[in-house]
Amino acid sequence: MSFTDRVKTAFGSVKVKLAIAAIPVMGMVQYASAATLNASIGPVLDSVVELFVPLLALVTAAVPLMIIMAIIGFVLGILGAILGKLHV
């Protein structure tokens, strides 16, 4: 087996390809600091958290209406069953 064939088989394995592909990523890690991540992700998280207040208000406003509609439906169902049995 020639030298070029041995090099091709050595660099042909999946682990070696993944290691070679990870080298640029490892070089970028030194440039990622907490300040830049906080500046870019912080406003997004703030806006997501601000959405929770109106969403909670919507849920708390809708739940009593759903309970009232369920009670009305239950009572009308009972009255409908009673009137259905009368055969008037």
How far apart are the C-alpha atoms of 45 and 51, rounded to whole Å? Answer: 10
Which backbone phi and psi does 7 adopt, to 5 degrees? -65, -40
pTM of the model: 0.43
Cα–Cα distances in Å, from 50 out to 4, 17, 45, 60, 63? 60, 44, 9, 16, 21
pLDDT tens for the 88 residues of the chain, in order: 677 666 666 666 666 666 666 666 555 555 556 666 677 778 888 888 898 889 899 989 999 999 999 999 999 999 999 998 987 6
How far apart are the C-alpha atoms of 80 and 67, rounded to whole Å? Answer: 20
Please state the domain extents for the chain: 47-88
